[in-house]
Amino acid sequence: MTNKNMKSSLMTTKGILKLTCMCGVGLLLGACRGQISEKPPIHPNMNMDQQPRMEAQEVNKFFEDNRSMRQPVAGTVARGLKKDDKAYYEGVDANGEWVEDMPVEITRALLYRGQDRYNVYCAPCHGGTGDGNGIIMTGNYGYVPAPTYHQARLREATDGELYSAIYNGVRTMPSYATQIKVEDRWAIVAYIRALQESQNASESELRAEDVDVEQLEAEYTAEQERLAALAEARKPEKEAEASIDQGKKLVQQYACETCHNVDGTPGGIGPTWKGLFGSQSQGINEAGETITINKDEAYIRESIVAPEAKKTEGYEQGVMAPYDYLSETELESLILYIKSLSDN
């Protein structure tokens, strides 16, 4: 190649580069946004972005029923949506009764998974040990108290019933079905069973497993102290005189009206308070014996701090958590308020 030839070929390369640069700048400027235009945006590569299609609910004359949305072929189920194992998916047997035992194998891995999910989804309210003292319950946020799992009713509850609390929700507790997958729901149930076991082991059982009982006792005392401090912190700084007004406010603060009403409407989770004071009804005591209950001041007080002691007929299920951390003035105010609902 001669010198001259080389020069001219270089020029051409330069020329092409120049042209490319200019085109590039042109394109960049052309792509500038921010200007208002009536024209549709340039869409050089369609990629099948627009094509004829039916909208949801649109009429479609092509089919006899004029619907564009088609029904599944009769007798078929979409892949992955066959859920006819009711015990597994809903926790109930063929008669719609809660299954007694969980339909999955309990393994160490399942329990660990349950612990992990429990601490994410349930512990904030039900507490790390399941005693109902989760962090959300430690502030005055107006939540219905989460019950402890360590009460006879929930210890005796079937696995299906516990599963149902997660799957369907229960009264004021929302369902977690959209957030927790089926296998994890059973893992959580298994873990709740483990928590229940852990709170009911006898000393001899523990010693037989080589557990350091003294250490456990120390931890227990520390926890009781923490709870006592918590109850102390829950109390308002300056206690006002007991009054009907304070009672009304407390009812709001503790969300009592989630379960009780004051206008006599039947069908609540708990009995109405209208006309409660001074009335009489049948009920049961803790031994399960039928008794007549006089709804006097002492009974109202007991119903708030120890609702399990006596239960009114029709409400034997007893879902009320004890409000045993209320101060004396708070209790008096609540009683004054409930009593005021029996005037006139």
Contacting residues toward ligand HEC, per CB under 6 A: 121-122, 124-126, 136, 144, 146-147, 154, 162, 165-166, 170-173, 176, 180, 188, 254-256, 258-260, 269-271, 276, 295, 300, 303-304, 307, 311-312, 315, 318-320, 323, 334, 338
Angle at 132 between CA 247 and CA 109, to 5 degrees: 165
Residue pair 281/289 in contact by the 8 Å Cβ criterion: no
Q: Which amino acid is at 128?
A: G
Report in angstroms how near the CB of residue 185 gets to ligand HEC at its nearest. 8
- Closest Cα partner for 256 from 273, 240, 242, 239? 273
CB nearer ligand HEC, residue 87 or residue 195: 195
Cα 25 to chain center, whole Å?
A: 57
Helix axes of 182-198 and 159-167: crossing angle, nearest 10 degrees: 130
β-sheet with 280-285: strand ranges across: 290-294, 280-285, 310-312
CB nearer ligand HEC, residue 87 or residue 247: 247
Report in angstroms how near the CB of residue 308 gets to ligand HEC at its nearest. 6
The rounded distance, in Å, linking the Cα atoms of 272 and 262 is 6
DSSP output for 156-171? HS-HHHHHHHHHT-BT
Report in angstroms how near the CB of residue 312 gets to ligand HEC at its nearest. 4
CB nearer ligand HEC, residue 110 or residue 122: 122
**Beta carbons within 8 Å of 343's beta carbon, 6+ residues apart:** none
First-to-final CA distance of the chain: 118
Report in angstroms how near the CB of residue 92 gets to ligand HEC at its nearest. 15
The rounded distance, in Å, linking the Cα atoms of 254 and 215 is 36
Report in angstroms how near the CB of residue 192 gets to ligand HEC at its nearest. 6
Report in angstroms how near the CB of residue 284 gets to ligand HEC at its nearest. 10
CB nearer ligand HEC, residue 92 or residue 165: 165
CB nearer ligand HEC, residue 111 or residue 255: 255
CB nearer ligand HEC, residue 88 or residue 206: 88
CB nearer ligand HEC, residue 256 or residue 262: 256
The rounded distance, in Å, linking the Cα atoms of 326 and 143 is 15
Report in angstroms how near the CB of residue 55 gets to ligand HEC at its nearest. 38
What token pair was written down for 146? 């989460």
